[in-house]
Structure formats: structure tokens, C-alpha cells
Amino acid sequence: MAARTPELDPAALPLGLAPRTVFVTGKGGVGKSTVAAALALAWRDAGARTLLVELEGQASAAALLSPKKIGYEPVPLGEHLCGIRITMAEALREYVRLRLKVKLVADRLVGNPIIDQFAQAAPGFRDLLILGKLWWLATEKDSRGHRKWDAIVVDSPATGHGLGLLGMAGTIARMFPVGPIAAQAKAVDEYVRDAARVGIVLVALPEELPVTETLELREELASRGIDVAAEVLNGLLIDRFTGAESKRVEGLLDDAGTSLDPGVRHALETVVWEHTRCSDQAAERERLEAGIGHGVCVLPHMFVPQLGREHVASLARWLAPGGQDVLLAQLAGATDGPAAAAAVHAAGGAS
Ligand SMILES: Nc1ncnc2c1ncn2[C@@H]1O[C@H](COP(=O)(O)OP(=O)(O)OP(=O)(O)O)[C@@H](O)[C@H]1O
Ligand SMILES: [Mg+2]
């Protein structure tokens, strides 16, 4: 960890969010890990000391930023940016060690297959341990009495399981109203319910079913009193063709019938397909924003076979206010065809 404290730039905050703990969640495969890595980078770039968290069973977010292997102790992934991987077994070992203050007992207890099986079989217990660790990290101070982490970004499991995780501290606090577990569960529950300290970032794709599911999920979260701090619509295509251009190409295809060279036909069909796809995505974005009642943050689809660190760095820049402004302007009226898409990609690659 770097000794010098970075300076927070309020104008550069990604998603317009002050640093806090966020659970990046959404349906399977929508880009949760990618957005978590990009958000961690963007917060760090805005001057926040940032911790990217992977949970057991989820792997990949930290690997998008650095080849370093991460574990239960924070590992630097860059300046003012660390990664950590929280496993149930390590969290249990640490908890027992802190409570019993005897390392030997902790190691024996955690290595014991019966205790391990109990912990695995009691999901509430497991979730409380993980939340407890996050709460600990969020409140941890350095030697000068400053909080160690301004931002904690959790690459969370696909929704469903993630919801259970967040509600668990409250459930346990109610199950055990007195005693040491109750005290911790209560502190953790208060942390999870404090919108200034903890929020959800929902990731969605601009397609019919994912948008519908995201709207349902938001309602469910609201009914449980869990704050959604921001929504990210990932994978938007930037239209390279105007409506008029697409119509003209459609006309050419109709007029030419079967006389066109197959390669040329394919290229022209791609123009029409891409424009139609962009229009469909715009409609889904509108439906999502209407359902939520405000605008969402957008991220472009990157045309690469596999996302590398430089692409995640681009996505981080798109998440920052300057990048969002460029992107939203292009989505609002990419009337200058390829030049508009080129501008978006160039801006994404600029440092
Ligand atoms: N904006 C983007 N442009 C291009 N590809 C993307 C983008 N966002 C994500 N992807 C790709 O989509 C795939 C799924 O992304 P990711 O692994 O982040 O999703 P996930 O929601 O974490 O998935 P899982 O539910 O399996 O954990 C990956 O191959 C990733 O590289
Ligand atoms: Mg993932």
C-alpha cells in the first residue's frame, strides 16, 4: 500500500458516486466482473484508495487488471489499488483467531472437517463471515488513523445469491438478539443498510429479457430496503450508420435481387443488421430508464476477441464523467456515420 494519500477529484468520480463499498451484480454473463474491474480502476484514477474484492466461486475481476495472483491479504494491482480474494475458510479462520485469540486452536478448528462441513452447510453463517470481513475492511484504519480503503468494489455472484448475502446480517441479528454474534451481525447490518457506505451497482445488457429482469430485480431490492446506487448498461453498439443510410442500403439490396456479389451482399446486410440492432438497443435503454425513472450509465461493446487490460482501462475512462459525456452524445445522435464510432473508440483508447 502506498504511504502517500491520493487526492480525491470529485469531478472524476465514476458513475457520479462518492467512494463506498459496492456490490457489482446482475444476471450471469452480463459483464459483472468486467464492470467491477473497470469501476475499481476508475475510482482509483479519481483518487480513491481502492480494493477490488473477489469472492469464492467468482474468479476473474482482478485478473483483468493484473497478472498477480491474489489471496486473502490485499495484493497491490497498481498504485492505490489492491485486490483481495475472500474465501469462507480463510474468513472463518480469521474470525476464530480474532475471537479466541489462539492461532493453534483456530487452525485446528478450521481444518476440522466437521466444522468445515457445518460452515458450508449453513449459508447464513458463511454470508455473515464474508460480510463481516467486508465491514472490517471498510472500517480498517492505517497506522496514521486514516481509513485504509475509500472504495471497495465487490465482484458479486449473479443476482439471487447476492441478494441473500446482503439480507443475511439482519436475519442473523434477529435470530440471535443477544450475545457476541448478535453484536457483530447488528454492526454489519447497519453498515449494509447505510446507503452512504454500501450500495449495489446493477449491470444489465441492452436486450429485452435482461432489461425486464433488471427492472424486476430493482423492485425486489427496493422492497428489502437495499439501495441501488447505480445501473450500468453494458455492451452498447455505437451506430456507424444513420437511419437514411440504412434505408438506402435496404433499397439497394431489394433492387439488386440475387445479382449482387455474395461478399457485397453480406457487407450491405451487415449495415442494415447493425443499424437495426442499435435501434433495438436504444429502445431497451429507453425502457430501462423509463422503468427506473432516471438515466443509466452506459458502456460500449468493445470489438475484440478477448478483453485485455487496455480494454478494461478504456471502459474505466468511459465510466468517468468525461467519458460518459462523449458516449452519451454519440448515442444521442451519431449522425456522422463512421466518424462518430471512430471518435468513440479513439476517446476510449486515449490516456
Ligand atoms: N463492454 C464489453 N465489450 C466487449 N466484451 C465484453 C464487455 N463486457 C463484458 N464483455 C465480455 O463478456 C463476457 C462476460 O463478461 P464478464 O465475465 O465480466 O461477465 P460476468 O457477469 O462477470 O459473468 P459471470 O456471471 O460468469 O460471472 C466476457 O467474455 C467479457 O470479456
Ligand atoms: Mg464474473
Q: Which ligand is nearest to the CA of 27?
A: 1
Q: What pLDDT score does 259 carry?
A: 84
Higher pLDDT, 171 or 233: 233
Residue 255 inside a domain? The answer is no
pLDDT at 160: 57
Q: Is residue 275 part of a domain?
A: no
In this structure, is residue 288 part of a structural domain?
Answer: no
Is 259 contained in some domain?
Answer: no
| Ligand 1 contacts CB of residue 235 (under 6 A) | yes
CATH code at position 107 = 3.40.50.300
Residue whose C-alpha cell is 464523467:
321
User: Residue 182 C-alpha to ligand 1 middle, in angstroms?
Assistant: 38
pLDDT tens-digit readout, 194-248? 889 988 999 999 999 999 999 998 888 888 777 789 999 999 998 888 888 899 9
Residue 102 included in any domain: yes
In a domain, 197, yes or no: yes
Residue percentage of the chain with pLDDT more than 70: 79
Determine the residue of 24, 25, 33, 303 to mutate for testing ligand 1's pocket, defined as the one with the most ligand atoms within 8 A of the Cβ atom: 33
Name, in order, each residue with C-beta under 8 angstroms of 207's C-beta and a sequence gap of 6 or more: 280, 281, 284
Taking each helix axis as running N to C, give the angle between helix 123-139 and helix 113-121, from 0 to 180 degrees, rounded to the nearest 10.
90
How far is ligand 2, taken at its centre, from the CA of residue 296, in Å? 21
Query: What residue numbers bound the domain in which 95 lies?
Result: 17-239+294-349
Q: What pLDDT does residue 238 have?
A: 85
DSSP 191-230: HHH-TTTEEEEEEE-SSHHHHHHHHHHHHHHHHTT--EEE
Q: Is 334 in the pocket of ligand 1 (CB under 6 A)?
A: no
- pLDDT value at position 107? 61
Residue 285 resides in a domain: no
190 Cα: distance to centroid of ligand 1 (angstroms): 32
Task: Report pLDDT for 112.
Answer: 64
228 lines ligand 1 (CB under 6 A): no
Domain count, the chain: 1
Give the tens place of pLDDT for each residue, 36-50.
999 999 999 999 999
Q: At what angle do helices 88-100 and 123-139 cross, to 10 degrees?
A: 70
> Which of 202, 205, 307, 345 gets mutated to test ligand 1 (max ligand atoms within 8 A of its CB)?
307
List all residues 6 or more positions away from 222 whose beta carbon is below 8 Å from its beta carbon: 228
Ligand with minimal distance to 315 CA? 1
pLDDT > 90 fraction of the chain, expressed in percent and rounded: 49
Q: Convert the pLDDT of each residue in 105-126 to its tens digit.
A: 656 655 666 666 666 666 667 7
Element spanning 307, H or E: none
Closest residue by Cα to atom 2, ligand 1, is 301
Ligand 1 geometric centre to CA of 233 (Å): 12
pLDDT of the residue at 351? 40
Query: Which pLDDT does position 79 carry in this prediction?
Result: 94
pLDDT tens for each residue of 204-216: 999 999 999 999 9
pLDDT at residue number 63: 92
Domain-located, residue 283:
no
Ligand 1 near 316 CB (within 6 A): no
